[in-house]
Structure 1
Amino acid sequence: MDLLELRGKIDEIDEQIVALYERRMDISRQVAEYKIGTGKKVFDKAREEEKLRKVKALTHNEFNSHGIEELFEQIMSMSRKLQYGLLTEHGSIGRLPFIGVDHLYEEKARVVFQGAEGAYSQAAMIQYFGDKINSFHVDTFRDAMIAIDEGSADFAVLPIENSTAGIVSEIYDLLAEFENYIVGEQIIKIEHCLMALPGTRTEDIETVYSHPQSLMQSARFLNEYGWQQISMQNNAFAARKVADSGDKHKAAIASEYAAGLYGLEVLVKGVNQSSTNSTRFIIVTNQKIFLKDAKKVSICFEVPHESGSLYHMLSHFIYNNLNMNRIESRPIEGRNWEYRFFIDFDGNLSDSSVKNALRGLREEARNMRILGNY
């Protein structure tokens, strides 16, 4: 039998597979209609696991057994997507506990940021809320989350990602820990400056203070010198420490605004190696609200420690035509080698495709949470 004949036989089999697939999906549609009428859940993990065992037992070698498992996992996944879609069409998708609003805040809103006066977080706050906002600052990111959690502030401004140094992992962990929600974001350009007491020369400097990420972003510049580098909670704290020390052997890396605020002299501007260095800040509140024209959704969830688990969760975005633009993972405390995944994707909580995807994720993932729509 030549190649053309073999390919012809494959084509015949493929036509049968397509016909059987469509027949199976038609029956899945009927199953969905039954579940809608009886209130049964779409995802039945025990039923699917038993199905996989049965179809694998029909094969004759390990290679085919593995292939059939993957094939039927996909078929059952598609069946669930069809059923979730029908639930949406019948109005059975349920309401999400978030309220769409036209405006996030009023002039009397109180905002908290981490750091001291002159911090980049303060600059991000002013760009987002304006310079007449009622604000205060705290020492740590956790303090900021506690402030909005307890109601002493309406919003917090927190850095979540830098274009050079990457994510601020502590913020991701705090988002998972606290029942607070992202309602906005602000990106600001970062230009780090080396600063010290007036009259200081670079050859006088022995120690440089700054936030760990700022030291990392300025590593190329700092590597030219043998200065001791000391991490601080915030760049503005570093500038204030140098100003209070009265010591010309100390310098800080912070913003030009912080230098002016604390009476320091800028020795070198733009010490960060990237001229396009930017930081993305998120605006967080303890209210389940979102702007009606919001365009990005953030969620987090956990998955079973099994092969293919994450792939199946991500398929909800694929089959609902949702553009996923970020995925990060963080270890789960107390559970070695298990991870929580954070995902950003385009959409609005009022969109049917978003509701459909979230319903599937809620049923199939562990501890799925909507972190915000902004």
Structure 2
Amino acid sequence: MKRIAVQGIVGSFHEDAAQRYFNKKIEVVECKSFTSVCELVDTDKVDYAVMAIENSIAGSLLKNYQLIRDYHLRIIGEIYLHIQMNLMAVKGVKPSDITDIYSHPVALQQCVEYLEQYFPNANLHEGLDTAAAAKLMSDEQLPHAAAIGNLRSAELYKLNILETGIETNKKNYTRFLVLAKHGNPTEKANKASLCFEVGHFYGSLARVLNVFAENEINLAKIQSVPVIGKPNEYTIHVDIEWEKLENYDRALHQALKSVSSLAILGEYERSEIYMHDQ
């Protein structure tokens, strides 16, 4: 059975993403931080890790880009999860009983309109993850509290769903990366994550991006990440997609002439974005 490290506990969105990606029985290893997740992969204590890298509302997790590079991890896959938020509580609790609501800070933020409309006076409590909030309801059997999280955590911790789909934006996705210590060479790869640095002169970045365009490479994402300890210096992270492998190989060879450094963080199969309930 493969061991997969995730940030958070069983029932979290990270664990949900891991289950969906591997689609078979796995052993999920719970971690309190993203750093711990990377350490477990680096020290061979787990086979893979699943780590969030961006959310369609909250944006990119810049620290996680840095962790991937610091630990020299390889991206071997990706999965997009449709994030649906639900209000849940222990059996017998009615909406009129609720004085306190627990969840992850980002989850609370994503449900702010619902909370302002229906629970304007409730005390909001921020925790490590949505599943931990659900577990707290179950462990403590809180009679005046509710948690916000996914359907899986409600099922795991035997909570009643009081309301589904309470997030403000219904097209809310999180992209998760699947990480390993070594790359997975795959003939089916049609996407890659690269990072590079260019010199400080006009047109230096455009020159690299033009190489991709000229070789019919689609630029799916571009993100600048500050270089720690070096003011005004940035590493450029890009996700690129291709139809023909020879175009990718040629573009990579040409791009090397216009960068001061370049690293391939991973080559993998592009994931489709599916709508499904959480």
TM-score surpassing 0.5? yes
Match of residue 228 from structure 1:
123
Q: CA–CA distance in 1 between the matches of 2:73 and 2:208?
A: 24
Moved over 6 A (4+): none
Q: CA–CA distance in 2 between the matches of 1:202 and 1:366?
A: 58
- 2:12 corresponds, among 119, 125, 128, to 119
Match of residue 274 from structure 2:
none
- What is the TM-score of this pair, normalised by structure 2? 0.86
Call closer, same or farther: CA 1:291–1:237 in 2, change over 3 Å: same
Asked whether the 8 Å contact 2:87–2:164 carries over to 1, the reply is: yes
More strand by percentage: 2
Q: CA–CA distance in 1 between the matches of 2:256 and 2:113?
A: 45
- 2:254 corresponds, among 360, 368, 373, to 360
Return the letter of the residue paired with 1:256. L
Q: CA–CA distance in 2 between the matches of 1:304 and 1:241?
A: 51
Match of residue 101 from structure 2:
208
Please show how residues 1-374 of structure 1 align to structure 2 within 5 Å: 108-224=1-117, 225-347=120-242, 351-374=245-268
Q: Count residues in correspondence.
A: 266
Cα deviation, residue 267, structure 1 = 1.6
Call closer, same or farther: CA 1:290–1:249 in 2, change over 3 Å: farther
Asked whether the 8 Å contact 1:211–1:234 carries over to 2, the reply is: yes
Call closer, same or farther: CA 1:352–1:273 in 2, change over 3 Å: same
Deviation string, structure 1 residues 208-237 (Cα, Å, up to 9, x no partner)? 222232222212212322333333222111
More helix by percentage: 1
Q: CA–CA distance in 1 between the matches of 2:219 and 2:59?
A: 18
The gaps in structure 1 that reach 5 residues or longer are 1-107
Asked whether the 8 Å contact 1:165–1:216 carries over to 2, the reply is: no
Q: CA–CA distance in 1 between the matches of 2:63 and 2:101?
A: 23
Return the letter of the residue paired with 2:245. D
Return the letter of the residue paired with 2:230. R
Q: CA–CA distance in 2 between the matches of 1:306 and 1:182?
A: 31
Return the letter of the residue paired with 1:140. S
Match of residue 27 from structure 1:
none
Deviation string, structure 1 residues 324-347 (Cα, Å, up to 9, x no partner)? 111112222112232221101113
Q: CA–CA distance in 2 between the matches of 1:226 and 1:177?
A: 44
Deviation string, structure 1 residues 5-44 (Cα, Å, up to 9, x no partner)? xxxxxxxxxxxxxxxxxxxxxxxxxxxxxxxxxxxxxxxx
Cα deviation, residue 204, structure 1 = 3.2
Asked whether the 8 Å contact 1:115–1:139 carries over to 2, the reply is: yes
Cα deviation, residue 273, structure 1 = 1.8
Deviation string, structure 1 residues 31-64 (Cα, Å, up to 9, x no partner)? xxxxxxxxxxxxxxxxxxxxxxxxxxxxxxxxxx
Question: Which secondary structure state, in structure 1, belongs to the residue aligned with residue 185 of structure 2?
Answer: strand
Cα deviation, residue 371, structure 1 = 1.0
Asked whether the 8 Å contact 1:210–1:235 carries over to 2, the reply is: yes
Return the letter of the residue paired with 2:7. Q
The gaps in structure 2 that reach 5 residues or longer are 269-278
- What is the TM-score of this pair, normalised by structure 1? 0.66
Question: Which secondary structure state, in structure 1, belongs to the residue aligned with residue 41 of structure 2?
Answer: helix
Q: CA RMSD in A?
A: 2.1
Cα deviation, residue 286, structure 1 = 0.8
Asked whether the 8 Å contact 1:156–1:284 carries over to 2, the reply is: yes
Cα deviation, residue 251, structure 1 = 2.2
Call closer, same or farther: CA 1:198–1:169 in 2, change over 3 Å: farther
Deviation string, structure 1 residues 273-328 (Cα, Å, up to 9, x no partner)? 23332222211101122321111111112223333222122122122221111111
Q: CA–CA distance in 2 between the matches of 1:328 and 1:303?
A: 14
Question: Which secondary structure state, in structure 2, belongs to the residue aligned with residue 289 of structure 1?
Answer: coil
Return the letter of the residue paired with 1:144. V
Asked whether the 8 Å contact 2:17–2:79 carries over to 1, the reply is: yes
Instruction: Between the two structures, name the one with larger relative contact order (CA 8 Å, sep ≥ 6).
Output: 2
